[in-house]
A and B are shown apart, each in its own frame.
Chain A
Amino acid sequence: MNLYHYIVRLADNSHILGHRLAEWCGHGPFLEQDMAMTNIALDLIGQARSLYNLAAEVQNEGKTEDDIAFLRYEYEYQNFLLVEQPNGDFANTIVRQYFFSAYQLPYYKTLYENLQNKNDHHLTELRGILEKAIKEINYHLRWSGEWMIRLGNGTEESHQRMVNAVQNLYKYTGELFIADETDDTSLQSGFGVLLPEVKKDFDKSLFYIMERSGLTIPENETMQTGGKQGVHSEYLGYILAEMQYMQRAYPNSKW
């Protein structure tokens, strides 16, 4: 059952962030960036779909990707608090994306390596999904990194908005690197990822970007945690209410 939870957590993060980015559709600061955000949303929701599909296969109870996405309650979602935070302004969306991609890339790469030569059908499938996702995350990281630098060094206003966004979001990055039972069991099963190693990569790329953006990493920040355990901020409930409305109102409806 642990593999199910492990895969669902990966999926939940992509799914919720994808949903948030999709909210920008038609509201981007200009057309090209509107499309960039919705394209990234599409990548993330695509990753989530592949992962939910695999999770349903692992669970082997005849459920589908849709059951897992649309019929779980808030406390069953294991995504980070970071990805459910509201879009805010463009600066806030950029910083949230950068934090997440700077975590997701080294995490996925390490997991991909660790899954090599595993003689298990599900783990091989998972590795295939990661192989595809890593190519996409490279783009997401570059796109958000370039905007971090542009906005950080832009006008007085764009700089100030970036400072506020970093101040607002940095406190949600702590839990990305705190191992819990799911992380520990995956390590014991021989494929998990050592979070302190991912943290090193995250810090390295964050340091690089912040230096070039004229921004500073907040010090002595009290980190907010809970998302991985299903204890969410108030925002997730609203997201799920909108996302799950159809399945809740018309159970088993199909189109």
Chain B
Amino acid sequence: MQEKISQIWSILENITDPEIPVLTIVDMGIVRDVKIHNDDVEIIITPTYSGCPAMSVIATSIKMELHSFGWKNVSVTQIYSPAWTTDWMTESGRKKLKDYGIAPPVIEKRIQHLMFEKPPEVPCPRCDSVNTELISEFGSTPCKALMRCKDCLEPFDYFKCHR
């Protein structure tokens, strides 16, 4: 049983997030649990954001991938609690993000609803300078903000801290 479960986890480790293709759904902390009942597999996932459009694509990828390894009855269950947090992103996930050019989440101390707070100090993923500034709180996807490095002058995506 335990062997089968770890086999499934290693299959899941090859499924990538459709919006950030360098990260796997395990790196992201989206997969919360794997359950086997007889020959049926149940994968428990949690969305990053309520409206994350990637979730249905992810659920389909999970089913297709497990089918190709011979698991016929696969169900994907979405749970909301405990709510996803960037704290669940793995170390290797953070490193892959940075190599891809997206600054990984920085632990932010600011209280989310306080206004005009100083944005967090985010190191540039290209040159590691912390001389960076926020361009927009919302970037190309809900989980990212748009920033700019004032040293190498490159704009970059920042994977926002969400907790």
Contacts and interface: CB of A to CB of B under 8 A. Distances in A.
A46 B52 contact: yes
Contacts of B138: 32, 35-36, 39
B135 interface: yes
A35 B136 contact: yes
B83 A135 contact: yes
Interface in A41-96: 41-47, 49-50
Given A43-B142, A47-B50, A50-B50, A138 B81 contact: no
By CB atoms of chain A within 10 A, which of B47, B112, B115 has the most? B115
Given A32-B138, A128-B80, A131-B82, A46 B50 contact: yes
Given A127-B81, A131-B81, A135-B162, A32 B49 contact: no
Contact of B84 (A132, A146, A149): A132
Contacts of A44: 51
Contacts of A143: 137
Interface in B100-145: 112-116, 135-140, 142
B36 interface: no
Nearest to B135: A32
Given A128-B81, A138-B113, A146-B116, A42 B53 contact: yes
B115 A42 contact: no
Interface string A126-160: 01110111011011011101100100000000000
A145 B84 CA distance: 25
A27 to B, nearest CB: 16
A125 interface: yes
B146 interface: yes
Contacts of A36: 136-138
A32 B146 CA distance: 9
Interface in A222-249: none
A46 B146 CA distance: 22
B64 interface: no
Contact of B113 (A43, A45, A142): A142
Nearest to A54: B80
A193 interface: no
A32 B145 CA distance: 10
Contact of B114 (A49, A136, A142): A142
A145 B112 contact: no
A170 B162 CA distance: 32
Contacts of A138: 112-113
A176 interface: no
Contact of B79 (A41, A105, A128): A128
Contacts of A139: 112, 137
11 contacts: A36-B138, A42-B53, A43-B51, A47-B51, A50-B50, A127-B81, A132-B50, A132-B83, A146-B115, A149-B115, A149-B116
Interface of A: 31-32, 35-36, 39, 41-47, 49-50, 105, 124-125, 127-129, 131-133, 135-136, 138-139, 141-143, 145-146, 149
- CB-CB nearest 4 A-B residue pairs: A46-B51, A46-B50, A128-B81, A128-B80
